[in-house]
Structure 1
């Protein structure tokens, strides 16, 4: 956990001064990291009330929008999964040609093509793929506290950034939910917890969001449903259709009972624990956290 905390501080130190005063910021994502991008978008919208914030797929932006938005986007943050190097290279090359100001947060391990490209860009931070989403979600919260401290909504997150102090309690509180999730055939999350689903998808779990669950229920006889207290009304609506399906058998409810902006941290601690258990099971126990 200490490693994620250190990485998050590096990210915040690099971003805080660059974002203040900007009128337009783009967050682009390559691969299965939309969750952390949307989390950052939400926090920046609250922290920088008058700034125009857009979060968009890197490939979509590259193919459709970059030549048309580069004149008014003053700063770009590019997020990536470790298997999306092609997208990263395309987007960075185009942004470089357009003269854009850019910070890239790369998930490791990297293939040689991406590693070679790093030398051309000074504002790049590499993060181990096991810690990528946790570190960036934590950085998002710390960034909000640093640049948006006047917001009452942001202030509510104070005291929840020391994950090394809360990890043990979180794992103990949700230990039964973790065991039940490991036996489920599909993981379903609300959109605020998108990064948890993406993390679990990385390690082999079938995953979807609540609005698409109807397309998957015929494949699943057991569901692990991750949501926050603030989203219980959405869950109730979804449960009606799930329970009506003939394939429905069992649902494990994993309710993260905390602020929706900090809830991804708690969920990612559980997902990281499940990832580590899988790595240990296959003999890869030397994982730095």
Structure 2
């Protein structure tokens, strides 16, 4: 089944399918990237992305554990910024890890040229690239060619996170936790989905009913929120993405609630509990025409981006199943 057809059908992935996909991708990433990542001398690690959907989400899943565990200068940035505004003006030894969505092939080639000219190094994660593009890439490239491309990108990012955490992670206990949990995605999948099944059912029911969603996200869960936002737009569910603090402003001004019913979905960790309480309190006082739902990931913030992304994938497939049933 082709990628777009699977997206339209909302075909859920089983634990056995996930285990198989995880094994294949982990082996591919290990084979292509281990020598490249063995050299840990670099001033700055740029984790970039071309495309606003699953490439951006995968980049975020790689970024957050490294940002919190390492003393290295780790930056999450759009690929365009790396290409046009960073590499040409910074004389430094940089490492670039670039996630690229279909359609951005020429930008990948141009970035590779810029990396080579500035003495930096680059690892590319992309769908199969044309030979003419591959010939211009000097560093290794990891080809992701599977039915569920967004999920495959997420798994690749998780594997890269474990590899880099081993080499540049500074906090031993927390590094070991990331390595352990990011290496066993399929083994925890069913328990994870079962733990949040009520949230998944309630959120998907409301999305199908109102067909308008604003996802308010904490910084660490932006990868998962962005993935859900992208998924929903592929099936004509009107979705917007904003920070949690924006919700407080929106409630105060009623910008998003005057003329339509909207699901306000907060995706956060326990760390942002105070903002969630304030938002729920103000919403109850404002008498706004909106539904307010929450998805709070009760895990270590280091692993929350990955787990929330798996839940976002499940919310999406549940939404599509319901849409097909109601058609």
Q: What is the alpha-carbon distance in structure 1 between the residues aligned to residue 256 and residue 152 of structure 2?
A: 30
Q: Which piece of structure 1 moves more, 222-231 or 94-103? A: 94-103
> What residue is the counterpart of 1:65 in the other structure?
86
Secondary structure of 1:72's counterpart equals coil
Query: Is residue 217 from structure 1 mapped to residue 256 from structure 2 by the alignment?
Result: yes
TM-score normalized by the length of structure 1: 0.80
**Which residues of structure 1 form unaligned runs of 5+?**
284-289
1:138-177 matched pairs, under 5 angstroms: 138-147=158-167, 148=169, 151-157=172-178, 159-161=180-182, 162-177=184-199
> What residue is the counterpart of 1:53 in the other structure?
74
> What residue is the counterpart of 1:287 in the other structure?
none
Question: Could you tell me whether the CA contact under 8 Å between 2:37 and 2:164 is conserved in 1?
Answer: no
Question: Could you tell me whether the CA contact under 8 Å between 2:62 and 2:157 is conserved in 1?
Answer: yes
Secondary structure of 2:306's counterpart equals helix
Following superposition, the deviation at residue 211 of structure 1 comes to 3.2
> What residue is the counterpart of 2:142 in the other structure?
125
Q: Which has the higher helix share?
A: 2
Query: Is residue 258 from structure 1 mapped to residue 275 from structure 2 by the alignment?
Result: no
Q: Render the CA deviation track for 1:100-126: whole Å, top value 9, x for unaligned.
A: 3110111x3x6x7x6641343251112
Question: Could you tell me whether the CA contact under 8 Å between 1:189 and 1:197 is conserved in 2?
Answer: yes
Following superposition, the deviation at residue 210 of structure 1 comes to 1.6
2:96 to 76, 79, 84: 76
The 3 A distance-change label for structure 1 pair 48 and 253 is closer
Following superposition, the deviation at residue 42 of structure 1 comes to 3.3
Following superposition, the deviation at residue 171 of structure 1 comes to 1.4
Query: Is residue 196 from structure 1 mapped to residue 224 from structure 2 by the alignment?
Result: yes
Secondary structure of 1:130's counterpart equals helix
Following superposition, the deviation at residue 265 of structure 1 comes to 1.9
TM-score normalized by the length of structure 2: 0.71
Secondary structure of 1:56's counterpart equals strand
Q: What is the alpha-carbon distance in structure 2 between the residues aligned to residue 179 and residue 84 of structure 1?
A: 35
Q: What is the alpha-carbon distance in structure 2 between the residues aligned to residue 90 and residue 263 of structure 1?
A: 34
Rg larger for = 2
Q: What is the alpha-carbon distance in structure 1 between the residues aligned to residue 262 and residue 50 of structure 2?
A: 32
Query: Is residue 104 from structure 1 mapped to residue 134 from structure 2 by the alignment?
Result: no
The 3 A distance-change label for structure 1 pair 194 and 103 is same
**Cα RMSD after superposing both structures:** 3.1
The 3 A distance-change label for structure 1 pair 12 and 281 is farther
Following superposition, the deviation at residue 189 of structure 1 comes to 2.1
